[in-house]
């Protein structure tokens, strides 16, 4: 039995069990109402706090800003309610995932990572983990997977970024549990409203909050969530020691943004469906992927596992030059990396060194009117 696998069977539905996504998002992590106080308290900007002269930090929850910040704790409570576990936020998604890998893995351990996931994680594994004596195995999200015998940690990204493949999490969790391995799930693309990996058998959730979770393209954030007290303690100690914490204002902005998550995802998913149907009908677009299409390879698993489809899709325009012409012709699609924001954007992943074709595009749908967005993309493709 893995020493960290102490998850309970209790439900983790926060203060609003049975309520809808919009209600949970609007109220997640908010303190009890106090007359004259705001709904969401403003950010606490503090490095040191006043200490009790006799008892020091034992007498109050705040002592020093790196481990202690009430604004950050409120955000962690909110994300924890949505993910169904205890949460720790980090300065970025990369800080969260590298913190997970370095806190859990030791020399001689083996880890399975996604071969088609975020390329920076693979680069970190080959440049740092392997140098620390960790055996790194890569597997595509849709499989096949290697044997998990002797594996310490399995990390999957589902739906994968940028290819949007999906893996059956309950089945993978059972395989990992049988082998004594931990299962961590990158939930960035789906968000906790799209799926709750802890409910599906995962030990850990890791995600970039920079993207759809906060959705305003104005902050960097990452987080980890778990139901294991021992894992949470190890991750918290790692974050304290390394100082990989978000600032108070970023934490406040993130919490502010959560209230509209349900609304934003609803429009983004609808826009993704509308664009997917447009692109599927065009002979000048190839390699279309969106797990909500019935003929997409990921659809059989995604349709039963995801509570809502992501607002991200991918396709190929054949060349870097055609991608450039498409983006120049569009009035509504911005050329930008990252995804999940209010404004529709497209990213040619090969320009970052990702191992994708030159014309491969990851398109992130914003909250524009669907009719306007479809017309704009169609006109831009015609012009390109």
- The secondary structure of 44-63 as a DSSP string is ---SB---BTTTBGGGSS-S
- Give percent of the chain above pLDDT 90: 92
Mean pLDDT of the region 91-103: 98
Mean pLDDT of the region 257-264: 98
CA distance 88 to 70: 13
Tokens of 85: 């576990």
> Hey, where are the domains in the chain?
21-258, 262-383
The pLDDT of residue 64: 94
Q: Would you say domain 21-258 falls under CATH 2.60.120.10?
A: no
The pLDDT of residue 353: 85
Mean pLDDT in the chain?
Answer: 95
Could you report how far apart the first and last alpha carbons of the chain are, in Å?
57
In what helix (H) or strand (E) does residue 98 lie, and over which residues does it extend?
A: helix 93-104
For the cut 50, the answer to whether the pLDDT of residue 312 exceeds it is yes
The pLDDT of residue 1: 43
The pLDDT of residue 8: 42
CA distance 186 to 164: 12
| 108 closest CA partner among 148, 170, 150, 144 | 150
- Give percent of the chain above pLDDT 70: 96
Q: Do domains 21-258 and 262-383 have the same CATH topology?
A: no
118 labelled catalytic:
yes
Residues in the chain: 384
Exactly one of 66, 277, 282, 322 is catalytic; which is it?
A: 66
Exactly one of 211, 227, 239, 349 is catalytic; which is it?
A: 211
User: Cβ neighbours of residue 119 under 8 Å, at least 6 residues apart?
Assistant: 352, 353, 354, 355
What pLDDT digit, counting tens, does each position of 266-292 carry? 999 999 999 999 999 999 999 999 999
The pLDDT of residue 5: 55
Exactly one of 68, 72, 109, 118 is catalytic; which is it?
A: 118
284 labelled catalytic:
no
The pLDDT of residue 10: 45
Exactly one of 186, 250, 296, 347 is catalytic; which is it?
A: 186
The partner residues of 346 in beta bridges, in order of sequence, read 335, 363
Lowest mean pLDDT among 57-61, 205-209, 336-340, 348-352: 57-61
For the cut 60, the answer to whether the pLDDT of residue 2 exceeds it is no
Q: Please say whether the dihedral angle defined by the alpha carbons of residues 176, 189, 224 and 119, taken in this order, is positive or negative.
A: positive
CA distance 288 to 294: 12
Long-range contacts at 130-137 (CB < 8 A, ≥ 24 apart) = 132/105, 132/107, 133/107, 133/108, 134/105, 134/106, 134/107, 134/108, 134/109, 134/110, 135/108, 135/109, 135/110, 135/111, 136/110, 136/111, 137/110, 137/111, 137/112, 137/113
What pLDDT digit, counting tens, does each position of 117-145 carry? 999 999 999 999 999 999 999 999 999 99
Where does the pLDDT of residue 328 fall: very low under 50, low under 70, confident under 90, or very high at 90 and above?
Answer: very high
What pLDDT digit, counting tens, does each position of 207-232 carry? 999 999 999 999 999 999 999 999 99
Where does the pLDDT of residue 9 fall: very low under 50, low under 70, confident under 90, or very high at 90 and above?
Answer: very low
Where does the pLDDT of residue 18 fall: very low under 50, low under 70, confident under 90, or very high at 90 and above?
Answer: confident
For the cut 90, the answer to whether the pLDDT of residue 28 exceeds it is yes
Q: What angle do CA 242, 223, 181 make, to 5 degrees?
A: 90
| 109 closest CA partner among 175, 203, 181, 172 | 181
- Would you identify the CATH topology of the domain 262-383? 3.90.1150
Buried b (16+ CB within 10 A) or exposed e, 222-254: bbbbbbbeebbebbeebbeebebbbbbebbbbb
Where does the pLDDT of residue 7 fall: very low under 50, low under 70, confident under 90, or very high at 90 and above?
Answer: very low
The pLDDT of residue 211: 98
Q: Give 108 or 4, the one with higher predicted confidence.
A: 108
| SS3 call for 383 | helix
CA distance 380 to 24: 38
Buried b (16+ CB within 10 A) or exposed e, 185-217: bbbbbbbbbbbbbbbbbbbbbbbbbbbbbbbbb
355 labelled catalytic:
no
For the cut 80, the answer to whether the pLDDT of residue 80 exceeds it is yes
Mean pLDDT of the region 73-95: 98
Where does the pLDDT of residue 57 fall: very low under 50, low under 70, confident under 90, or very high at 90 and above?
Answer: confident
218 labelled catalytic:
no
Mean pLDDT of the region 303-312: 98
CA distance 210 to 207: 9
């Amino acid at each position: 039995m893995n020493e960290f696998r102490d998850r309970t069977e209790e439900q983790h539905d926060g203060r609003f069990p049975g309520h809808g996504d919009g209600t949970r998002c609007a109220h997640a992590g908010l303190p009890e109402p106090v007359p004259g106080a705001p709904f969401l308290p403003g950010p606490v900007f503090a490095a040191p706090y006043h200490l009790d002269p006799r008892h020091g930090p034992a007498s109050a929850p705040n002592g020093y800003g790196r481990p202690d910040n009430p604004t950050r704790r409120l955000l962690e409570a909110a994300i924890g309610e949505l993910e169904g576990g205890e949460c720790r936020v980090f300065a970025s998604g990369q800080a969260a995932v590298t913190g997970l890998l370095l806190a859990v893995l030791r020399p001689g351990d083996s880890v399975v990572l996604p071969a088609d996931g975020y390329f920076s994680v693979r680069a970190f594994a080959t440049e740092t983990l392997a140098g620390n004596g960790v055996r790194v195995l890569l597997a595509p999200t849709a499989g096949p997977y290697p044997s998990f015998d002797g594996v310490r940690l399995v990390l999957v990204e589902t739906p994968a970024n940028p290819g949007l493949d999906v893996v059956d999490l309950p089945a993978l969790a059972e395989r990992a549990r049988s082998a004594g391995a931990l299962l961590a799930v990158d939930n960035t693309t789906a968000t906790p409203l799209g799926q709750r990996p802890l409910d599906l058998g995962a030990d850990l959730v890791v995600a970039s909050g920079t993207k759809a979770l906060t959705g305003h393209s104005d902050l960097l954030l990452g987080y980890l969530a778990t139901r294991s007290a021992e894992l949470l303690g190890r991750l918290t100690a790692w974050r304290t020691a390394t100082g990989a914490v978000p600032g108070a204002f970023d934490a406040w902005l993130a919490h502010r943004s959560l209230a509209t998550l349900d609304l934003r995802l609803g429009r983004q998913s609808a826009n993704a469906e509308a664009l997917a149907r447009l692109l599927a009908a065009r002979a000048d677009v190839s390699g279309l992927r969106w797990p909500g299409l019935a003929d997409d390879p990921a659809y059989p698993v995604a349709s039963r596992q995801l509570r809502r489809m992501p607002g991200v899709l991918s396709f190929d325009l054949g060349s870097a030059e055609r991608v450039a012409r498409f983006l120049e012709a569009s009035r509504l699609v911005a050329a930008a990396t990252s995804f999940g924001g209010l404004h529709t954007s497209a990213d040619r992943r090969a320009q970052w060194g990702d191992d994708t074709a030159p014309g491969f595009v990851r398109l992130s749908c914003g909250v524009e009117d669907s009719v306007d967005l479809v017309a704009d993309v169609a006109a831009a493709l015609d012009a390109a």
